[in-house]
Amino acid sequence: MSKTEDRLEEAGAPTPTAGNGRVADGAVATEEKTLPFAAYVPMGAVSRYEKPKATISPDVSLSWIRRAAPIVMSHKKQWFSALIFAFAGLMIQVWVPLLLQNGITDALNKNTAGLRNYVILIAVLGVFTGLFGYISRSNLFKVAYSIEFDLRNTIYEHFSRMSFPFYDRVQSGQLISRANSDIRSVQMYLTFAPMILVQCSIAVVAFIFMLSISVPLAFVAMISMPFIYVVGVRMRQKLFPVSWLIQSRLAEVATVVDENVNGVRVVRSFAAEQQQLRQLGTAADRVQWAYIKDADLRARFAPLVQNLSQVGLVFVLLVGGWMIIHDHLPVATIISFNLWLVMMQAPFMMLGMLIMMGQRASASAGRIYEILDERPTIVDRPGAVDLVDSEGDVVFDDVSFAYAADSLLSKSVEAGDGEDKRRQILSHLNLHLRPGETVAMVGRTGSGKSTVARVLARFYDATGGSVRVDGHDVRDLTLTSLRGNIGVVLDEPFLFSVSIRDNIAYGRPDATMEEVQAAAEAAGADGFINRLADGYQTVVGERGYTLSGGQRQRIAIARALLVNPPILILDDATSAIDVKVEQRIHSSLRVLMEGRTTLIIAHRLSTISLADRVVLLDGGRIVADGTHAELLASTPLYSEVLAQAAKEETAETVVAEGTEDVGLESDDDLLQPEVVDLAPEGPEELR
């Protein structure tokens, strides 16, 4: 176990050190380009920013604050100086009312020299208050933002280590929310809570000053302070739920709008405008109620908090006045007490806030730790070696696989037709891909085709048997080197919101423009990219230009080709591409597959024709193996699967043969909202 953790530590290190690993170094990288397959080029991007110096303590038995302590302590210089200077500033500030009082008293007693001294003294103290205030505040903010920086990077790095089963189980929206608002509430508490406590010290000192002037008056003046605290606490308690309610109801309004905008065709088609407006109206009424509730609660508490301290002033006037008349208390006491009370008001109010902040922060920390305490399940084993320039010899030896029962997809399995929750996807699969061979894998939906690819790239570990590349069990190889030798084009091509160039160069950010263009050309993407106004610099994806499914697939193919891996997996990678365009890609693919081990998962006859050999997958194992003609002759299931696929194949693609490579300007695409599936894509078999 501890060894595994050691590996985890290493996984975050900037340079790989495992096995006979190569160091990410420009010279090596250029040298590699001359090799036939430029596989496994470690990428050495270096951020302008230093990585966090500390991380959350892994010891789950500690309290949440203790676990976060290393991060806070890594900024201890600034943290302590913020607190110390804040304290010093307050200690100076608290003298001012006393000095004013004495100055006024001197003035009343015609002591000009005394008055002047006090004026100078207060001016000097004022300068120090300002200076210390600046030092403390700017340090405090720095610490706060540094802690946020550390937490954000820590959690991102953690995400980057997690394995696919984790992503199947969680929802990315949930993760983002944890990585955002929860980090903020923790960071706020860690920095501002000590600050508030320090500020409360002013209340103590001010009270001591007041006591030294007059004990009874000091107590009278403080009479309303406990109430300010209590009301402050009550106010936060009442207001926090309302603010959350408002947020969640605003989200309801947003949902109605979002659905209305995205489903606008349906709304117009069914003349459902009235109904939609009523829905919006109802959601808006709910927001309205929550806002009025919020206003009423604020109306109840805010005037109390603001005016209670004034009540203290009334008592100072009343009791102080009496004492001035009867006990000869200096008149200026009224001024100094007034000023002290004003100083104390804010800390007392914030003290109430502190308690709520603490509760929130501890809950938030719990949610963050829950993620950080997850361990990646697919990691390099100790002593794993690097796969260098793979021959492309791939063996599936008696491989079995079942998705974990607690995967996210189990929600669909659950209510399934009484199927086994841990359905066996692959059972005792045996397959040998010889170096340089192109094999097409054919099978019905749910036969486990995609899983074969996933197990090979070690996105998942086989539950039985072993997958070997060049004779090494994939579990004995470093993940980086294994995946560096395998290019995968997934059936659902995901593009990032960066330029087309950067998307194609995703696996090799340092590729030259010529290389990118060559890859795009081979994938048949060059044409439409050049027709875009910004060409390769066009930003695509969710926050950019929307490409059609076929165009996305072509970019995904270019992305895999640029890496130039010895092993290539095309998982239904051309399903959305026009037959005609596909044919163009095929001719270049044929050249590229030369000498490369390629596994093609496909339905189309045209695609299958690229392969030297076809294997038929059914029920998680290979049931037939041979050339297309052989299988046609020998296996009825094969013809059946192909016929089904052909039937599914839309006539559209047949019809479209006469047309040019159609861009997204065609009217059919015009109003089709792109369906963006936010949920992590799961294995198709369980869909």
Partner 1 sequence: MGAPMGGGGPPGSTQAGLPFGGIPYELQEGVDRLLESEPDRGESKVVFTQLPTPDEKKTLSLTGLLMEYPGMCAAAVVLVAAIALATQLGPSLVSYGINHGLTPPHYDFGVIVFMAILYLVSIVVSASAQWGQARVTGRLASWVMNDLRVKVFRHLQRLSLDFFTEEKAGVVMSRMTSDIENLQQLLQDGLAQFAIQGLTMIVITAFLFATNVRLALITVVCVLPPLVIMSIWFKRASERGYDKVRDGIALVLADLSESLQGVRIVAAHNRQRYNVETHRDVVGAYRDANNYTGRLNGVYGPGSQLLSVVGQVIILGIGGEMLLHHQINLGELTAFFLYVNRFFSPIQLLVQQYNTFQQGRASIFKLRDLLNTEPSVLEAPDAVDLPKIRGEIHFDHVSFGYDPAVPVLHDVDLTITPGETVAFVGATGAGKSTMAKLVTRFYDPTAGRVLIDGYDLQRVTLSSLRSQLGVVPQEPFLFAGTIRDNISFARPGAPDDEVWHAVHQVGLGELVQRLPYGLDTPVHERGQSLSSGERQLIALGRAFMAEPRVLVLDEATSNLDLKSETMVEAALDVLLEGRTAVLIAHRLSTAMRADRIVVVGDGRLLEVGSHDELVSLGGHYAEMYDTWINQSHAA
Using CB under 8 A, which residues numbered 330 to 359 contact partner 1? 331-332, 334-335, 338-339, 342, 359
Percent of the chain that is helix, strand, coil (3-state, to 5): 60, 10, 30
The 439-458 contact track toward partner 1, x by CB under 8 A, reads ------xx----------x-
Q: In the complex, what is the shortest distance from the CB of residue 339 to partner 1, in angstroms, rounded to a whole number?
A: 7
Using CB under 8 A, which residues numbered 364 to 383 contact partner 1? 364
Q: How many residues at the interface with partner 1, by CB under 8 A?
A: 215
The conformation of residue 524, written as its DSSP 8-state character, comes to: T
Among 37, 396, 459, 536, the residue binding partner 1 under the rule CB under 8 A is: 459
Asked if 620 touches partner 1 (CB under 8 A), the answer is: no
Judged by CB, which is closer to partner 1: 251, or 430?
A: 251
Q: In the complex, what is the shortest distance from the CB of residue 491 to partner 1, in angstroms, rounded to a whole number?
A: 11
Alpha carbons 17 and 143: distance in angstroms, whole number: 33
Judged by CB, which is closer to partner 1: 165, or 465?
A: 165
Using CB under 8 A, which residues numbered 180 to 239 contact partner 1? 180, 237-238
Among 63, 174, 587, 634, the residue binding partner 1 under the rule CB under 8 A is: 174
What separation in angstroms does the CA of 259 have from each of 223, 255, 339, 568, 673?
A: 55, 6, 56, 40, 11
Among 65, 107, 188, 624, the residue binding partner 1 under the rule CB under 8 A is: 107
Asked if 113 touches partner 1 (CB under 8 A), the answer is: no
| Residue 600, C-beta contacts closer than 8 angstroms, at least 6 positions apart | 438, 439, 440, 441, 570, 607, 608, 610, 611
Asked if 627 touches partner 1 (CB under 8 A), the answer is: no
Q: In the complex, what is the shortest distance from the CB of residue 661 to partner 1, in angstroms, rounded to a whole number?
A: 10
Asked if 33 touches partner 1 (CB under 8 A), the answer is: no
Judged by CB, which is closer to partner 1: 157, or 389?
A: 157
Question: Among candidates 568, 572, 519, which has minimal Cα distance to 549?
Answer: 572
Asked if 389 touches partner 1 (CB under 8 A), the answer is: no
| Residue 13, C-beta contacts closer than 8 angstroms, at least 6 positions apart | none
Judged by CB, which is closer to partner 1: 169, or 428?
A: 169
Burial 175-210 (b: 16+ CB within 10 A, else e): beebbeebbbbbbbbbbbbbbbebbbebbebbbebb
Asked if 398 touches partner 1 (CB under 8 A), the answer is: no
Q: How far is CA 644 from the centre of its chain?
A: 41
Asked if 251 touches partner 1 (CB under 8 A), the answer is: yes
Among 14, 382, 383, 636, the residue binding partner 1 under the rule CB under 8 A is: 14
Among 72, 179, 456, 601, the residue binding partner 1 under the rule CB under 8 A is: 179
CB 93 within 8 A of CB 131: no
Residue whose token pair is 């596989």: 39
Alpha carbons 46 and 31: distance in angstroms, whole number: 21
Using CB under 8 A, which residues numbered 488 to 527 contact partner 1? 488, 490, 494, 496-497, 506-507, 509
Judged by CB, which is closer to partner 1: 255, or 430?
A: 255
Asked if 276 touches partner 1 (CB under 8 A), the answer is: yes
Alpha carbons 583 and 590: distance in angstroms, whole number: 10
CB 491 within 8 A of CB 572: yes
Asked if 250 touches partner 1 (CB under 8 A), the answer is: yes
Asked if 609 touches partner 1 (CB under 8 A), the answer is: no
SS3 295: helix
The conformation of residue 178, written as its DSSP 8-state character, comes to: I
Asked if 78 touches partner 1 (CB under 8 A), the answer is: no
Alpha carbons 132 and 141: distance in angstroms, whole number: 14
Asked if 636 touches partner 1 (CB under 8 A), the answer is: no
How do beta strands 613-618 and 424-433 pair? unpaired
Judged by CB, which is closer to partner 1: 469, or 642?
A: 642
Asked if 46 touches partner 1 (CB under 8 A), the answer is: yes
**Listed ranges 149-157, 195-203, 383-391, 615-623: which one lies at the site for partner 1 (CB under 8 A):** 149-157
Asked if 327 touches partner 1 (CB under 8 A), the answer is: no
Greatest distance between any 2 Cα atoms in the chain: 121
Among 8, 65, 233, 280, the residue binding partner 1 under the rule CB under 8 A is: 280
SS3 666: coil
The 557-576 contact track toward partner 1, x by CB under 8 A, reads --x---x-------------
Question: Among candidates 577, 423, 430, which has minimal Cα distance to 491?
Answer: 577
What separation in angstroms does the CA of 347 have from each of 193, 271, 341?
A: 11, 58, 11
Among 317, 405, 513, 633, the residue binding partner 1 under the rule CB under 8 A is: 317
Q: In the complex, what is the shortest distance from the CB of residue 398 to partner 1, in angstroms, rounded to a whole number?
A: 25
**Listed ranges 26-34, 297-305, 390-398, 424-432: which one lies at the site for partner 1 (CB under 8 A):** 297-305
The 637-676 contact track toward partner 1, x by CB under 8 A, reads --x--xxxxxxxxxxx-xxxxxx--x--xxxxxxxxxxx-
Among 65, 122, 223, 230, the residue binding partner 1 under the rule CB under 8 A is: 122
> Strands of 567-571's sheet, edge to edge?
486-489, 567-571, 597-601, 438-443, 613-618, 621-626
**Token reading at 533:** 């106004």
Judged by CB, which is closer to partner 1: 208, or 295?
A: 295
Asked if 119 touches partner 1 (CB under 8 A), the answer is: yes
Judged by CB, which is closer to partner 1: 59, or 668?
A: 668
Q: In the complex, what is the shortest distance from the CB of residue 266 to partner 1, in angstroms, rounded to a whole number?
A: 5
**Residue 113 burial by Cβ neighbours in a 10 Å radius (0-12, 13-18, 19+):** exposed
Q: Which residues pair with 424 in a beta bridge?
A: 402
Q: In the complex, what is the shortest distance from the CB of residue 657 to partner 1, in angstroms, rounded to a whole number?
A: 7
Alpha carbons 150 and 56: distance in angstroms, whole number: 10
Q: In the complex, what is the shortest distance from the CB of residue 70 to partner 1, in angstroms, rounded to a whole number?
A: 18
Asked if 169 touches partner 1 (CB under 8 A), the answer is: no
Alpha carbons 224 and 247: distance in angstroms, whole number: 34
Determine how many CB atoms are found less than 10 A away from the CB of residue 340: 27
Judged by CB, which is closer to partner 1: 259, or 521?
A: 259
| Residue 644, C-beta contacts closer than 8 angstroms, at least 6 positions apart | 444
What separation in angstroms does the CA of 323 have from each of 218, 315, 331, 333, 339?
A: 12, 12, 9, 10, 19
